[in-house]
């Protein structure tokens, strides 16, 4: 259902704390079936008054959250071309298999002998990710892409430390995801930015000037956030390796190259995957995700503990295998529920299907780009002629000539029933609009989206005020974000 059809427009919704009545309840506690003993918890350790949680019946709770759900735009209802997020279809098979009690009700401390199915699944997923990335050693532990990045940078740090070297700098292109520099700081290293050349790739001269003996690694995604595959990647790898540094692959854009080329073959030492992107997880309004990493032979000793091992009798175990390991990044084995889904996806598609997914994603992106060629005078492609699975338009001419910003265009798209693309990222493109259609959209959908953009631009030529005040049909209109940050109200007052 498009946002234009919502029955809830204009409705003000109370929070759950403003509903219900004292004494109402949904939960009935099981009977106290053991003899009651007083004084088990001394008064000084006891809570004087229960927490002020809501008091509602089950029907009220259901109705409240179902009404809230209707105030969300979702992928199952409409086109969601949010660049760099890979909002591809979420197969429902995945929800069914993840909910099987043998997966969903399996305790993480269950003895490995009694979790052989889970460990085999994880083992198979590790092998598949190793093959897809061209880097054979995999840890599934990280909880999200950014968590995988932290693992990767700590791995690079441990690798250098083990060789008796202290390297303090990490190079990141100015096109990098914001998580890359944030991760570097968390890992106690210093960010050094590398420029972008006219083709949208890494500026090799700048890279050569900055690549020194103090560099721990270069973090790169290829294709990058401009939708450009950096054809100089072999030279980049040479420059980085010549100074003894490690090459790190941000796997956020892996959806463009599965079965076509591999980070390991390009010379990368470490890669993180975003299972929630390339290998389909429902994005859940911002998680859960999963960010496994794969590494080359020389990085393997530093991988996180514990690892899955296959013993001579064919059985699987979980063991700490390396004394040089950076340790552990979270509790238990990682987001297993996500592994089940991505493993099902890889089994469904197989080698051929994964490649077809990437080819189709790139075809869809280039087709949409071609369809938007008609409006290139207002929204030109920022770099190149062809793109990979996503592309960046600049709204600068549109802003100058039609008087509407990229944000206005995005908000007006909401009135047409589309989720807008990513706006104002990557940072080096003025008025950036980053569009990623993914392989699961039909040609008709792409045509409809292109037509909507044309309609909005034509409308803006007549009356830019319509876009400037958009959206007009959503449950709420433009929100005061500055006010929210100035006087933060982040909880319901009781």
| For other proteins, the closer CB: 325 or 461 | 325
Shortest Å, Cβ 285 to other proteins: 4
Residue 73 binds other proteins, judged by CB under 8 A: yes
Asked if residue 72 binds other proteins (CB under 8 A), the reply is yes
Q: How far is the CB of 38 from other proteins (least distance, A)?
A: 10
Within residues 249-288, the interface with other proteins by CB under 8 A covers: 257-262, 265-266, 276, 282-288
Question: Rounded to the nearest whole angstrom, what is the least distance from the CB of residue 14 to other proteins in the complex?
Answer: 9
Distance between start and end Cα atoms, the chain: 35
Residue 186 token pair: 């968390």
Q: Give the count of beta carbons closer than 10 Å to the beta carbon of residue 238.
A: 11
The C-alpha angle 451, 454, 460, rounded to 5 degrees, equals 140
Q: Does 337 bind other proteins (CB under 8 A)?
A: yes
**Contact stretch for other proteins (CB under 8 A) within 83-91, 203-211, 375-383, 428-436:** 83-91
Site for other proteins in 364-383 (CB under 8 A): 364, 366-367, 369-371
Which residues in 25-44 contact other proteins (CB under 8 A)? Answer: 25-27, 29-30, 32-37, 40-42, 44
Which of 422, 429, 456, 460 binds other proteins (CB under 8 A)? It is: 422
Measured CA to CA, the distance from residue 23 to residue 222 in angstroms comes to: 58
* Bridge pairing between strands 137-139 and 293-295: antiparallel
Closest approach, Cβ 18 to other proteins, in A, equals 10
CB closer to other proteins out of 234 and 297: 234
Of 442 and 461, which has the nearer Cβ to other proteins? 442
Question: What is the contact mask toward other proteins in residues 382 to 421, using x (rule: CB under 8 A)?
Answer: ----x-----------------------xx--x----xx-
- Between 25 and 400, name the residue whose CB sits nearer to other proteins: 25
Q: Which range touches other proteins (CB under 8 A), out of 62-70, 213-221, 392-400, 453-461?
A: 62-70
- Residue 334 touching other proteins (CB under 8 A): yes
357 near other proteins, rule: CB under 8 A: yes
List the one residue from 132, 215, 218, 402 that touches other proteins (CB under 8 A): 132
Closer residue to other proteins (CB): 132 or 467: 132
Rounded to an integer, what distance in angstroms lies between the CA atom of residue 172 and that of residue 191? 7
Do the beta carbons of residue 257 and residue 223 sit within 8 Å?
Answer: yes
What does residue 409 show for φ and ψ, rounded to 5 degrees? -60, -45
Closest CB to other proteins among residues 332, 400: 332
**Measuring CA to CA, how many Å separate 65 from each of 40, 71, 76, 147, 161?**
38, 10, 18, 30, 51
Nearer to other proteins, 211 or 336 (CB): 336
Is residue 4 a contact residue for other proteins (CB under 8 A)?
no
Strands 293-295 and 270-273: antiparallel
Query: Minimum distance between the CB of residue 354 and other proteins, rounded to whole angstroms?
Result: 6
Q: Footprint of other proteins on residues 172-191 (CB under 8 A)?
A: 177-179, 181-188, 191
Residues 96-115, interacting with other proteins (CB under 8 A):
96-111, 114-115
Q: What is the C-alpha separation between 440 and 389, in angstroms, rounded?
A: 12
Residue 481 CB-density burial (10 A; 0-12 exposed, 13-18 middle, 19+ buried) = exposed
Piece of the chain touching other proteins by CB under 8 A; list 82-90, 292-300, 375-383, 453-461:
82-90
Size of the site for other proteins (CB under 8 A): 203
Quote the least distance from Cβ 397 to other proteins, whole Å.
Answer: 22
Query: Which of positions 192-221 make contact with other proteins (CB under 8 A)?
Result: none
* Closest distance of CB 217 from other proteins, Å: 13
CA dihedral of 193, 198, 199, 202, whole degrees rounded to 10: -20
DSSP for 139-170? E---SSHHHHHHHHHHHHHHHHHHTT----EE
E strand or H helix that includes residue 394 = strand 391-394
**Helical pair 336-371 and 116-133, crossing angle rounded to 10 deg:** 30
Task: Tell me the closest approach of the beta carbon of residue 176 to other proteins, in angstroms.
Answer: 8
Q: Does 324 bind other proteins (CB under 8 A)?
A: no
Query: Would you state the structure tokens that stand for residue 9, as one six-digit string?
Result: 């427009």
Q: Is 353 in the site for other proteins (CB under 8 A)?
A: yes
Q: What is d(CA 253, CA 274) in angstroms, rounded to the nearest whole number?
A: 9
User: Residue 324: which of 293, 346, 303 has the closest Cα?
Assistant: 303
154 lies in the site for other proteins, by CB under 8 A: yes
Indicate which single residue of 298, 319, 350, 377 sits in contact with other proteins (rule: CB under 8 A).
350
Buried b (16+ CB within 10 A) or exposed e, 40-53: eeeeeeeeeeeeee
> What Rg value do the Cα atoms of the chain yield, rounded?
25
The helix or strand, by DSSP H or E, that contains position 126, with its residue range, turns out to be: helix 116-133
| Span interacting with other proteins, options 203-211, 224-232, 397-405, 453-461, rule CB under 8 A | 224-232
């Amino acid at each position: 259902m498009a946002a234009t059809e919502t029955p809830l427009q204009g409705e003000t919704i109370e929070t759950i704390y403003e509903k219900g009545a004292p004494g109402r309840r949904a939960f009935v506690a099981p009977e106290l079936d053991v003899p009651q003993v007083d004084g088990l918890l001394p008064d000084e350790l006891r809570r004087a008054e229960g927490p002020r949680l809501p008091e509602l019946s089950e029907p009220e709770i259901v109705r409240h959250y179902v009404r809230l759900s209707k105030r969300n735009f979702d992928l199952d209802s409409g086109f969601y071309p949010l660049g760099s997020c890979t909002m591809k279809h979420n197969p429902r098979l995945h929800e069914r298999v993840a909910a099987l009690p043998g997966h969903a009700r399996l305790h993480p401390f269950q003895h490995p002998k009694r979790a052989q199915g889970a460990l085999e699944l994880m083992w198979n997923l590790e092998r598949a990710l190793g093959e897809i990335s061209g880097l054979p050693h995999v840890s599934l532990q990280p909880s999200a892409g950014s968590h995988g990045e932290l693992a990767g940078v700590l791995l690079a740090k441990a690798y250098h430390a083990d060789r008796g070297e202290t390297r303090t700098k990490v190079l990141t292109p100015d096109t990098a995801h914001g998580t890359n520099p944030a991760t570097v700081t968390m890992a106690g290293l210093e960010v050094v930015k590398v420029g972008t050349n006219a083709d949208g790739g890494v500026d090799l001269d700048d890279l050569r000037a900055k690549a020194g003996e103090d560099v721990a690694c270069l973090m790169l995604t290829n294709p990058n956030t401009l939708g450009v595959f950096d054809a100089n990647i072999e030279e980049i790898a040479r420059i980085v390796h010549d100074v003894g540094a490690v090459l790190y692959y941000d796997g956020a854009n892996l959806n463009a190259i599965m079965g076509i080329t591999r980070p390991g073959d390009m010379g990368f030492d470490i890669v993180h995957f975003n299972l929630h992107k390339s290998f389909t997880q429902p994005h859940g309004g911002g998680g859960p995700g999963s960010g496994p990493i794969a590494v080359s032979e020389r990085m393997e000793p530093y991988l996180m503990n514990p690892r899955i091992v296959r013993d001579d009798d064919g059985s699987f175990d979980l063991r700490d295998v390396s004394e040089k390991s950076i340790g552990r990044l979270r509790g238990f084995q990682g987001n297993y529920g996500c592994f089940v889904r991505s493993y099902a996806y890889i089994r469904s598609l197989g080698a051929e299907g994964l490649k077809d997914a990437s080819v189709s994603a790139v075809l869809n992106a280039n087709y949409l780009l071609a369809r938007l060629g008609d409006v290139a005078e207002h929204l030109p492609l920022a770099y190149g002629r062809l793109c990979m699975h996503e592309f960046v338009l600049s709204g600068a001419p549109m802003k100058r000539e039609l008087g509407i910003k990229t944000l206005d265009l995005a908000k007006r798209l909401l009135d047409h029933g589309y989720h807008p693309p990513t706006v104002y990222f990557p940072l080096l493109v003025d008025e950036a609009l980053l569009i990623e259609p993914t392989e699961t959209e039909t040609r008709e959908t792409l045509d409809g989206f292109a037509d909507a953009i044309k309609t909005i631009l034509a409308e803006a030529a007549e009356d830019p005020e319509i876009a400037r005040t958009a959206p007009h049909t959503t449950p709420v209109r433009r929100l005061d974000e500055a006010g929210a940050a100035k006087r933060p109200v982040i909880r319901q007052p009781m």
